[in-house]
């Protein structure tokens, strides 16, 4: 059976690039939505999922925090992937020929300086990889795409300019997920991710967080979001450093459990070296 890793987007998307970088031994499986990515793994058409959870430029990826707790999947790894944006054109095109650059709405402002300097108008596409595919089909030197080098390779486009983003810090954090959890301690620096809801008592969140402070457990992320369309039902997503079997983490989670009505560990996994 072919081992696959599912991602959201068209071939050449940045999630596809992440699959190539982090799981080169697996065949990448494109899916139209995040739900379809999860279904592909649950149904056995893929063994792993590559899901973006946050980006340094535009923050949290919509819907991911809502989908993960009910996905039935487990986080087994994380990956920080630099997003390099490239100007892609049909073979033989020069930058001076380009009048329009097509890409996703999120990517265009990140290249504003480059586009302005070259007198290129940004045009919105539904997806950066789709933009590359369209440019290849149009075969018009005046139209280019802002996308990954992988997209250029897939659709036969030339890289007219590399790394045209205005800032060199644009990074996406991905979670790699599978049907089966891996709870082994397989690195010195481990991370643990969980979601929880606090009990309806005064200062419940403050008390729930106290166990991490008193036990010296570093919480690297805490985010809240509404559940079931209610303004009063709030769920929290958290990342902490450490493994659930570490005594300080164990004590902190036990204290958290006392103040919560719902607590679910989504996975424990090696920290990406980019964290250091």
- The residues with which 223 forms a beta bridge, in sequence order, are 237
- The residues with which 75 forms a beta bridge, in sequence order, are 177, 267
CA-based max dimension of the chain: 67
Give 251: exposed, middle or buried? Use CB within 10 Å, 0-12, 13-18, 19+.
middle
The dihedral built from the CA positions of residue 67, 72, 78 and 80, taken in this order, carries a sign that is negative
Given the residues 47, 93, 172, 260, the one annotated as active site: 172
Pairing assessment for the beta strands 27-31 and 4-8 based on DSSP bridges: parallel
For residues 128 and 146, is the Cβ–Cβ distance under 8 A?
Answer: yes
For residues 84 and 73, is the Cβ–Cβ distance under 8 A?
Answer: no
47 carries an active-site annotation:
no
Distance CA 192, CA 201 (A): 26
172 carries an active-site annotation:
yes
Distance CA 91, CA 159 (A): 9
Given the residues 7, 34, 174, 259, the one annotated as active site: 174
For residues 29 and 57, is the Cβ–Cβ distance under 8 A?
Answer: no
Which positions are catalytic? 172, 174
């Amino acid at each position: 059976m072919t081992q696959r890793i599912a991602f959201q987007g068209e071939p050449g998307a940045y999630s596809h690039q992440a699959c190539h970088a982090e799981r080169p031994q697996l065949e990448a499986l494109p899916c139209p939505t995040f739900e379809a990515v999860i279904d592909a793994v649950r149904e056995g058409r893929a063994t792993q999922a590559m899901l973006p959870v946050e980006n340094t430029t535009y923050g949290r990826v919509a819907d991911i925090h809502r989908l993960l707790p009910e996905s039935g999947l487990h986080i087994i790894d994380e990956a920080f992937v630099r997003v390099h944006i490239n100007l892609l054109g049909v073979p033989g095109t020069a930058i001076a020929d380009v009048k329009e650059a097509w890409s996703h709405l999120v990517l265009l402002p990140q290249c504003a300086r480059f586009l302005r300097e070259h007198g290129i108008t940004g045009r919105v596409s539904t997806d950066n990889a789709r933009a590359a595919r369209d440019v290849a089909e149009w075969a018009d030197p005046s139209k280019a795409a802002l996308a990954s080098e992988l997209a250029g390779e897939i659709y036969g486009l030339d890289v007219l300019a590399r790394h045209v983003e205005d800032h060199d810090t644009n990074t996406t954090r991905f979670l790699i997920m599978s049907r089966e959890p891996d709870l082994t301690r397989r690195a010195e620096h481990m991370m643990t991710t969980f979601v929880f809801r606090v009990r309806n008592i005064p200062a419940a969140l403050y008390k729930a967080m106290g166990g991490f402070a008193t036990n010296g457990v570093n919480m690297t992320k805490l985010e809240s979001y509404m559940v079931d369309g209610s303004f009063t039902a709030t769920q929290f997503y958290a990342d902490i450093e450490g493994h659930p079997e570490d005594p300080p983490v164990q004590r902190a989670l036990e204290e958290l459990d006392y103040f919560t009505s719902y607590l679910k560990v989504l996975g424990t996994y090696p920290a990406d070296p980019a964290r250091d």
